[in-house]
């Protein structure tokens, strides 16, 4: 299904019944990255997944984008679907979007779950994102797929679950180069580290024990910046912990959301 939101056509899917729960995917992926978690979550919640601008079945306008723009897309999607308030779960880029929505439209957010993400990047990391943007535009996404897979999934998981690993590699390889590049530019400029204290909703921060992109030390600073945020380390997981440790993450989310459900 698609709706027009903030000047772009946004592709989305809805599953289940109950309080609204919105899931935002990482850079270079789409809403299918959540497939394994949806059945359990949809047993208790009405789960909204969507493809971020530049990804999946959504429009791919020319970049650069900004995280503020992507957050406005998410808020406009909620308005189009007449969703007044939602629990919001974001991983990696989706976690950046989740933080921005909580800052720009706090009345729409009942709780936050921020997975393998950060509140801002240092200059060296921002430079890497700009280099990836240039590579995507010049060489296409296949040139970035293997490196992304190595950061996202640990070597042991890739060897034990080759079909899952190939699904994720193919997801990145078939991503839209311009959408990926424009979103890299958004992440390079993203920084809300000085505003975290403004977030005033129940917040869970999850991070893979072996996440090389946003390691536990980064997640700890994120959790420390948000009042009463809870940090949980996902054991034996790299950056895409929702795939590598699906059951652990699902259980952690279910426990957290059950406590936060009274906010909707």
In a domain, 156, yes or no: no
In a domain, 106, yes or no: yes
Side-chain half-sphere exposure of 60, counting CA atoms within 13 A: 14
Instruction: Check residue 262 and give its pLDDT.
Output: 57
> Which residue, 185, 207, 188, 193, is CA-closest to 124?
188
Tokens of 53: 């601008």
In a domain, 147, yes or no: no
Distance CA 34, CA 113 (A): 14
Estimate to the nearest angstrom the gap between the alpha carbon of 160 and the chain centroid: 25
Residues of the chain with pLDDT under 50: none
In a domain, 226, yes or no: yes
Rg (alpha carbons) of the chain, rounded to whole number: 17
Which pTM value belongs to this model?
0.97
CATH of the domain at 93: 3.40.50.1820
Which residue has 């009942």 as its token pair?
110
Report the length, in residues, of the chain.
264
Full domain range(s) for residue 47: 2-120+192-263
Q: Give pLDDT tens digits for 208-242.
A: 999 999 999 999 999 999 999 999 999 999 999 99
Phi and psi, residue 191, nearest 5°: -165, 105
In a domain, 130, yes or no: no
In a domain, 178, yes or no: no
- Count how many domains the chain has: 1
In a domain, 55, yes or no: yes
In a domain, 252, yes or no: yes
Query: Which residues are bridge partners to 111 per DSSP?
Result: 87
């Amino acid at each position: 299904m698609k709706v027009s939101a903030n000047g772009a056509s946004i592709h989305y899917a809805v599953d289940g019944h109950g309080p609204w729960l919105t899931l935002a995917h990482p850079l270079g992926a789409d809403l299918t990255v959540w497939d394994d978690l949806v059945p359990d979550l949809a047993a208790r919640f009405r789960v909204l997944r969507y493809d971020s601008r530049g990804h999946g079945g959504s429009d791919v306008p020319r970049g650069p984008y900004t995280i503020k723009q992507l957050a406005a897309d998410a808020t406009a999607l909620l308005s189009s679907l007449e969703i007044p308030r939602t629990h919001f779960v974001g991983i990696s880029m989706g976690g950046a979007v989740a933080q921005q929505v909580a800052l720009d439209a706090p009345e729409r957010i009942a709780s936050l779950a921020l997975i393998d993400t950060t509140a801002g990047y240092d200059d060296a990391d921002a430079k890497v994102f700009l280099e990836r943007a240039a590579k995507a535009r010049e060489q296409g996404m296949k040139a970035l797929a293997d490196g992304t897979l190595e950061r996202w999934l640990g070597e042991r998981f890739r060897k034990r679950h080759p079909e899952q690993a190939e699904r994720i590699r193919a997801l990145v390889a078939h991503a839209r180069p311009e959408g990926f590049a424009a979103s890299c530019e958004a992440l390079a400029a993203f920084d809300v580290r000085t505003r975290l204290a403004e977030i005033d909703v129940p917040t869970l921060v999850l991070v893979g024990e072996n996440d090389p992109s946003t390691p536990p030390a980064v997640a700890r600073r994120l959790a420390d910046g948000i009042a009463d945020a809870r940090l949980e380390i996902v054991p034996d997981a790299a950056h895409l912990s929702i795939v590598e440790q699906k059951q652990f993450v699902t259980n952690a989310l279910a426990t957290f959301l059950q406590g936060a459900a009274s906010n909707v």
